[in-house]
């Protein structure tokens, strides 16, 4: 089902959920609230609970089958007014509707409680997956699809993740500013056109340019005689093939 959303995401359409539409952030929306605020919203709404050391203890203590990001948001929002405000602001940014917390019952709801637009754990799981796709977070998307043969394999993977988290952070080579700048100077798009793109459209265009440049490089190599045309496959010259985000 999620794969079927990609055309809507490319077209900039909102995505339907059981509690209302999820709206895609445009570059100008991020500029208006500040990029650091947007990143804070995402990091909170997509928080990786697998890295919480006490996760299994929490699951046993509260009788939870699986402690997910949803339970994390609820528990933290109940215990911290500041956290609750950020969580609600983050949800409202994408849902474009008033969001409230029913702390006695442990759920968020949209609008008036009588309308019964309740964000359940299942609903939030879908919202989380949409946010991952909206923001072109391919690594997280692939992780969502992982299935482990047994608990040992899962624990091994979790240990790898924790070791990765502990490694010194390498300064990224690209950021939102540099991608916008690259798109502006590499294409015929104006600044206004780029600022009206959604995050998904921006990253899709950015990685598509890599693919186009690779294809052009192969073609130029054939014409120049530096590339053996007999060894070139049709896919090597196909600009429209599915993007494989090995670096993302």
Residues 65 and 160 in one domain: yes
pLDDT class for 162, splitting at 50, 70, 90?
low
Residues 221 and 123 in one domain: no
Pick from 118, 117, 141: which is nearest to 130 by CA?
141
* Rounded Cα gap, residues 197 and 202, in angstroms: 6
94-100: long-range contacts at Cβ-Cβ below 8 A with a sequence spacing of 24 or more? 94/22, 94/23, 94/25, 94/127, 94/131, 95/19, 95/20, 95/21, 95/22, 95/23, 96/20, 96/21, 96/23, 97/20
The structural domain count of the chain equals 2
* Rounded Cα gap, residues 143 and 205, in angstroms: 23
Query: Which two three-digit tokens encode residue 243?
Result: 């993007």
Residues 117 and 213 in one domain: no
| pTM tops 0.85 | no
Residues 120 and 196 in one domain: no
Residues 11 and 40 in one domain: yes
Residues 38 and 130 in one domain: yes
For residue 108, the SS3 value is strand
Domain-embedded: residue 244: no
Work out the average pLDDT over 75-80.
Answer: 92
pLDDT in tens, 3-52: 678 999 999 999 999 999 999 999 999 999 999 999 999 999 999 887 77
Residues 112 and 231 in one domain: no
């Amino acid at each position: 089902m999620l794969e079927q959303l990609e055309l809507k995401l490319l077209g900039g359409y909102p995505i339907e959920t059981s509690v209302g539409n999820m709206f895609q952030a445009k570059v100008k929306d991020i500029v208006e609230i500040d990029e650091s605020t947007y990143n804070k919203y995402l990091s909170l709404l997509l928080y990786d609970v697998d890295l919480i050391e006490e996760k299994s203890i929490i699951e046993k203590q509260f009788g939870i089958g699986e402690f997910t990001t949803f339970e994390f948001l609820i528990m933290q929002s109940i215990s911290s007014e500041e956290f609750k405000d950020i969580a609600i602001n983050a949800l409202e940014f994408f849902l474009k509707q008033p969001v409230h917390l029913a702390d006695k019952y442990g759920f968020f709801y949209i609008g008036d409680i009588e309308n019964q637009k309740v964000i359940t754990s299942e609903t939030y799981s879908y919202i989380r997956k949409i946010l991952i796709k909206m923001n072109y977070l391919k690594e997280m998307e692939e992780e969502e699809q992982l299935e482990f043969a047994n608990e040992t394999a899962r624990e091994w993977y979790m240990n790898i993740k924790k070791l990765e988290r502990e490694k010194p952070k390498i300064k990224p080579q690209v950021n939102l500013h540099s991608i916008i700048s690259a798109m502006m100077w590499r294409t015929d798009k104006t600044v206004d056109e780029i600022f009206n793109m959604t995050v998904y459209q921006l990253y899709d265009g950015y990685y598509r340019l890599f693919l186009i440049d690779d294809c052009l490089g192969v073609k130029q190599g054939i014409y120049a005689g530096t590339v053996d045309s007999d060894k070139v496959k049709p896919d090597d010259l196909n600009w429209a093939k599915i993007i494989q985000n090995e670096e993302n």
